[in-house]
Structure 1
Amino acid sequence: MDSRIPRFYDKSLGKRRQIVADRCSISEDAYEALIDTDERDLGAVERLSENVIGAISFPLSVATNFRIDGDDRLIPMAIEESSVVAAASYGAKLARETGGFTTSTSGPYMIGQIQVRNLSDPHGATSRVFERAGEIRAKANDQGVLVSHGGGCEDVTARVVDTPNGEMAVVHLVVNVQNAMGANAVNTMAEAVAPMIEDVTGGETILSVLSNLADCRIARARCTIPPDVLRSEKRALSGEAVRDRIVDAWALAVGDPYRAATHNKGIFNGMDALAVATMNDWRAIEAGGHAFAARDDYGPLSTYEIDTEGNLVCSIEVPVQVGVVGGATRNHPVANASMEILDANSAEQLSGIFAAVGLAENIASMRALAAEGIQAGHMKLHAKNVAIEAGAPEELIDEIAAQMVADDDVRAARARELISELNR
C-alpha cells in the first residue's frame, strides 16, 4: 500500500473515500460504515478538517442536576462512556443539596510567547523589552479586531530561561481575548511583534506562538456537601466516614503523582466531554490543566476539606481556555445546538461552567472510590455494552444487562450464556 497520494486534499470527499478503500483493501462493511453518515454531518466536518473521508459520531448526552451560580443548567456532553455522564449528574446532585456550585474566573487572558536566542546579554535584553513594552504592545494591538471588541494586548513581560542550549529570553504578551479561545489572535500578535523584539534585544527570534499554560485564565468552582448525603448503605458507612475517606483519598493525590494523574483524569472526563460537545479545544484544556498541576510537584487540581460544621468543602482551580465565538464552536450545527442548551453568554461564564463540570465529575468519582468502589457503578452502565458486543438481540439487551449486574458477573461469556438461555 502506497500512502503517497498527491493533492489528496483537492479531491472530492467521495473520491478520497474510494482511494482509501482501494488502497487499504477494507471490507464492504467498513466501506458502508464510512458512507453511512448524515450529509449534514459531512458538510460540517469537511469545512472543519482536512482530507475528510467520513465522520464518526459520539453520543451527545445531557448531564442533569447542575445549579451554577444560582442558575440551573443542562450540560451537553459528547463522550462514548455512559458512566461519565452519570457521574457528572450525580456529583451535581450532591452539590445541589446546598445550592450547587459557585464559580469565579481570573479573566479571559492568554499568553503569547516569543523566544529569543543568540543574546550576548540576556538579562540586559529583557530589561530593554520592559523599557519598550508600550511600543511592543501597540504593535501587537495593530493586529486583528480584538481591540475593537474591548480586548487586546494589555501587558508585555520578559524573563531569562536557562535551557540545555544556554540562556535565552522569552517575551510574553498577555492578551485579553474577550469571548474567543484566542489562539489565532494571539499567534498573529506574537508573529507580528517578533521583528521588533529582535530589534530591541539584538537577538534572533524563533518561536512566536501561544502558550497553553493559561495561568492567567483560571476558573474556580466550589461547593459544600453535607455528610448525610454521602453515606453508603451498601458498605454500611456513615456520611462522616465517607467524607473522611474522601479527604484521605485526596491527600494521597497530593502526595503521590501516580494517584494525582488518575485524580485529574477524572476531572477531565467531564471537561473534555463538554469541550467536544461545544467544539472547544479539549487538547488545549488538557495540556494547560496538566501543566498547571505540575507547576511544583504534580498534584491534584481539586481540593477536599472539612469545614467547622462538618461539611465536605470541594473546590477546583484550573486553567480553562474556551470561547463562545470563533473557531468551530459556531461552525458545527450540533456544537451550536449545545451552546444554545448551555446558554452561556461569555467565555468567562463558560469557563466557570467547565470548572463546575470538572468538579462534579471528580466529586462523584471520589465518593464512589471512598464508598462502594469505582467498578460497581461503572459495570452497571457497562453491562449493556458487554451484552451488545456478545451479540444480544435488541429486545434482550436490557434484560441480559440487568441479569449480569444482579449476578455481579458482567462478562462477555456470561452474556453469551444468557443469550442462549433466553433464546431457547
Structure 2
Amino acid sequence: MIKPQQQQINGFSKLDKAQRRAWLTEQFLDPSARLILKQFDLPDDSIQQVFDGFSENTITNFPLPYGVAPNFVINGKTYAVPMVTEESSVVAAASAAAKYWMTRGGFHAEVIAAEKLGQVHFRWSGRPARRAALLDELCTRVRAQTKDLTQRMEARGGGVRGVTWKHLPEVADDCYQLLIKFGTADSMGANFINTVLEAYGAELQTWAAESGSLTEEERDLEVIMAILSNHTPNCVVRAWVSCPISEMALPKNGVDPHEFARRFRYAVEIARQDTYRAVTHNKGIMNGVDAVVIATGNDFRAVEAAAHAFAAQDGTYRSLSRCRVEHDRFTFELTLPLALGTVGGLTKLHPLAKLSLDALGQPSAEELMGVVAAAGLAQNFAAVRSLVTTGIQQGHMRMHLQNILTSFHASEEERGATAAHFAGKTISYAGVRGFLGR
C-alpha cells in the first residue's frame, strides 16, 4: 500500500522510542512492523539505554554477526581476532589464512608512524612571504593559550607535534591553513584534536587583533573552519608474511608451490596496475580490516576513507598490498593507514567492543593497528589464493548456501539434503530453488 505524502514532522528527536515507532509505522510501514522493530530491543534496559545514546532518533538495534578468527600469530603472539561482518565467507577466509600462516612463521607487523593531522582554514589579508617571519610567534601563542587542553595528552606521550602554515592559492589568494600534527597515544583522538583545533582558531583571531608584529593591513583574518583530517598518511602500519616457496604447498588443490607463487604475484601485480581490479582487490582487504575495526568500537568509515586516499597517493588508484617472489622466497605485504584507539569513544561504552579488546589482551593502539592490518592481509591472501586456484565462487557460494536456504525457509532436513547434493558442485540461487522445488 502506498501511503499519502506526509507533512513535515517537528520535534521527532524529542519523542520517546515507542512514539517514534508508532509514527514511523503509521506513516510509512505496515502496523505489523512495530513488532519487528521491538523484537530487536535488548532485554537488559540498562544496556539498551547505552545503545540508544550512541545515535539519535533510535527506533531499534540492527544486529550483525560477531565472530572470531582463531590461529592468528602476529609478531609471535597468538590471537583470536574478533570480527563483525554480515558478508559470507569473510571470517572463514581470514581463519583459513591465519591457520595456513601459523605454521609458516605467522604474520609480522610494524607501525611505521602514528601521527594524526588537523587543519584550521582561514582567510588572511597578509602576504604569503610573511608566514615564515610570523609562524614562531603564532605557534608560541596558540600553544600557551591551549596548554590546559593538551597537558593530559602530553602526560600520556601525545600532544601537538608540529604546526605548518600553508598558503592555498588554488582556493583563493587569501586562503591559508594551519596544518597541525598530533600524537594521541592510545586514543583515536578525534574529540581531542577537534577541541584543540577550535581553540587554535579562536586564538588565531585574537592574535590577528592584538599582535604587535602585524601591520594594519595584516589584521583582517577570518577563520572558516577547524577540523581533523581523516587522511592519515603519517599514521601507517605494515604487515607481512614470508616463507620459502617450497613450503607453500596447497594439498587440497594439488597446485605446485612455485606455480602458485607465480600466479599469486601476477594477480597482485594486476591490482597494482589496473584500477578496475585494484578497487575490488582493496575491497577484499577492507572486508577483514572493517570487521575488526567495528568489533573494537573504532570508526570504520574514517579507516575506509583514509585507506582509499592512500591507495591513490601517486595519482593512480592501486592495490594496497604487494607481492615479491625473490630467491625462491615468497613475501606478501600490506601497508595501510590506520587511525585507531583502544581508549575513549565506544571502546569502553559498547560492551562487545570492550570484550573484543579484552580478547585481544587489552592492546595498545599500535598493537591493535598490527592486528587489524594482519586481518586485512589474511583476507586478501585468502581471496587471491582462491582466485588463482579454484576460483572465488566455490568457497563463497558454499558459505552463502545457508543464506539461500534461509530465504526459502528450508527445514533442517532440506538443508542437509541440499548441502549433500551440491557438494563439489556449482551452487546458484536458481539451482537451489530447483532442487527444493520452490
TM-score normalised to structure 1 length: 0.92
User: Number of residue pairs matched?
Assistant: 418
Q: What does the per-residue CA deviation read over 1:218-262, in whole Å, with 9 as the maximum and x for residues that have no partner?
A: 111111144355445676531111111111111112212221111
Answer yes or no: is the 8 Å Cα contact 1:107–1:348 preserved in 2: no
Answer yes or no: is the 8 Å Cα contact 1:263–1:300 preserved in 2: yes
Answer yes or no: is the 8 Å Cα contact 2:334–2:373 preserved in 1: yes
- Does residue 245 (structure 1) correspond to residue 245 (structure 2)? The answer is no
Mapped partners of 1:47, 1:118: distance in 2: 40
- Does residue 102 (structure 1) correspond to residue 108 (structure 2)? The answer is yes
Structure 1 residues 196 and 225: alpha-carbon distance in aligned structure 2, compared to 1, 3 A threshold: same
| 2:155 aligned partner | 148
Cα deviation, residue 127, structure 1: 5.1
Answer yes or no: is the 8 Å Cα contact 1:123–1:160 preserved in 2: no
| 1:269 aligned partner | 287
Cα deviation, residue 86, structure 1: 1.1
Structure 1 residues 279 and 65: alpha-carbon distance in aligned structure 2, compared to 1, 3 A threshold: same
Mapped partners of 1:242, 1:206: distance in 2: 55
| 1:417 aligned partner | 434
Find the partner of 1:8 among 6, 12, 18: 12
Q: What does the per-residue CA deviation read over 1:7-62, in whole Å, with 9 as the maximum and x for residues that have no partner?
A: 2222211221111111113351x322210022346333202111100001001000
Q: Which amino acid in the other structure matches residue 47 of structure 1?
A: G
- Does residue 68 (structure 1) correspond to residue 74 (structure 2)? The answer is yes
Q: What does the per-residue CA deviation read over 1:146-165, in whole Å, with 9 as the maximum and x for residues that have no partner?
A: 22333211211222234244
- Superposed counterparts of 1:330-409, under 5 Å: 330-409=348-427
Mapped partners of 1:286, 1:253: distance in 2: 18
Rg (Cα) greater in structure: 2
Mapped partners of 2:363, 2:176: distance in 1: 38
Find the partner of 1:195 among 190, 202, 219: 202
Mapped partners of 1:99, 1:362: distance in 2: 18
Structure 1 residues 371 and 139: alpha-carbon distance in aligned structure 2, compared to 1, 3 A threshold: farther
- Superposed counterparts of 1:98-247, under 5 Å: 98-125=104-131, 128-130=134-136, 132-143=138-149, 145-166=152-173, 168-198=175-205, 199=207, 202=219, 203-228=221-246, 230-231=248-249, 236-247=254-265
Structure 1 residues 186 and 398: alpha-carbon distance in aligned structure 2, compared to 1, 3 A threshold: farther
Cα deviation, residue 177, structure 1: 0.6
Mapped partners of 2:383, 2:377: distance in 1: 10
Structure 1 residues 99 and 196: alpha-carbon distance in aligned structure 2, compared to 1, 3 A threshold: same
Answer yes or no: is the 8 Å Cα contact 1:112–1:173 preserved in 2: yes
Cα deviation, residue 357, structure 1: 0.9
Mapped partners of 1:210, 1:34: distance in 2: 36
TM-score normalised to structure 2 length: 0.89
Structure 1 residues 366 and 131: alpha-carbon distance in aligned structure 2, compared to 1, 3 A threshold: farther
Answer yes or no: is the 8 Å Cα contact 1:222–1:314 preserved in 2: yes
Answer yes or no: is the 8 Å Cα contact 2:398–2:427 preserved in 1: no
Q: Which amino acid in the other structure matches residue 415 of structure 1?
A: V
SS at 1:155 equivalent: strand
What do you get for the CA RMSD once the two structures are aligned?
2.2
Q: Which runs of 4+ in 1 moved over 4 A?
A: 228-236
Structure 1 residues 228 and 356: alpha-carbon distance in aligned structure 2, compared to 1, 3 A threshold: same
